[in-house]
Structure 1
Amino acid sequence: MPAKSKAQQRAAGAALAAKRGDVKKSSLKGASREMEKSMSEGELEDLAETKHKKLPEHKGD
């Protein structure tokens, strides 16, 4: 499932880093914190690896 926006892609990347132990889970905020709790590592990888060249900054853009 590709990310719908650059913001979603970045949040997934942050959540993935926390899930892998590269950053502290306590440093996450907002969407990335929820993503880390509710999504598997594979799902986060799918969102985080989305190319964001043509994505809008936010979903409503």
Structure 2
Amino acid sequence: MPAKSKAQQKAAGAALAAKRGDAKKSDLKGASKEMEKSMSEKQLEEFASTKHKSKPEHVAHR
């Protein structure tokens, strides 16, 4: 599943770093904290590696 925005991609990258032990889990906030808890490392890799050339910075909530 690809990320829908650059912000979502960045959050996934932060969560992935924490899950791998490269960053402290206690430093995570908001979406990245929830992503780290609820997603597998493989899912986070897919979100974080999405091409971001045509992605908006943020996606509006519905």
Q: Same fold (TM over 0.5)?
A: yes
Q: Distance in 2 between matches of 1:26 and 1:19?
A: 11
Give the aligned CA root-mean-square deviation in angstroms.
Answer: 0.4
Aligned residues: 60
Counterpart residue number, 2:2 = 2
Q: Percent identity?
A: 78
Where has structure 1 moved over 4 Å in runs of 4 or more? none
Counterpart residue number, 1:42 = 42
Q: Distance in 1 between matches of 2:29 and 2:52?
A: 21
Counterpart residue number, 2:18 = 18
Give CA-to-partner distance per residue, 1:2-53, whole Å, 9 cap, x none.
Answer: 0000000000000000000000000000000000000000000000000111
Q: Unpaired runs of 5+ in structure 2?
A: none
Q: Distance in 2 between matches of 1:27 and 1:51?
A: 25
